[in-house]
Amino acid sequence: MYIWAFDDLYIHNFKAIGCENPERSLKSANKKLWKRFQKALTEVDCDQTMIKYIDWETAIEKSTEYNAQLDYWMQLYRTNQGFRHAVMEAIEEALVKLQRTHFP
């Protein structure tokens, strides 16, 4: 099983929804995610030695496969107005949900 937590890259989402203290919100989100994860592991009686933590920079960003896919999607975003519009709608929907979660 592989997992990763929110990192500093995720902080821009909290800034986008107007958090007064995005660092604290990020820390809170990490804490909630970790508690849910621990609960899930306990419920399924998972052997925690089977868990591997992903180092995003090493495992993902330096991957040639990841970068090839990223280039493909970025090119599609730049050249396809319909795709770009769909992406922007999805981002707006995600930010609205995030805002409702943190500013009920």
What is the per-residue pLDDT across 39-65, written as a single tens digit (0 to 9) for each? 888 888 877 777 777 777 788 888 899
Q: State how far the alpha carbon of 99 is from the alpha carbons of 93, 95, 104, in Å.
A: 10, 6, 8
Number of domains present in the structure of the chain? 1
What is the DSSP code (8-state) at residue 84? H
Range of the domain at 53: 2-102
Q: How far apart are alpha carbons 63 and 1 in whole angstroms? A: 19
| Residue with tokens 């970068």, as numbered in its chain | 67
For 52, the enclosing helix (H) or strand (E) is: strand 52-53
Whether pTM exceeds 0.85: no
pLDDT digits (tens, 9 = 90+) for 89-102: 998 998 888 888 77
Contact 18, 99 (CB under 8 A): yes
Q: How large is the average pLDDT for residues 78-99?
A: 92
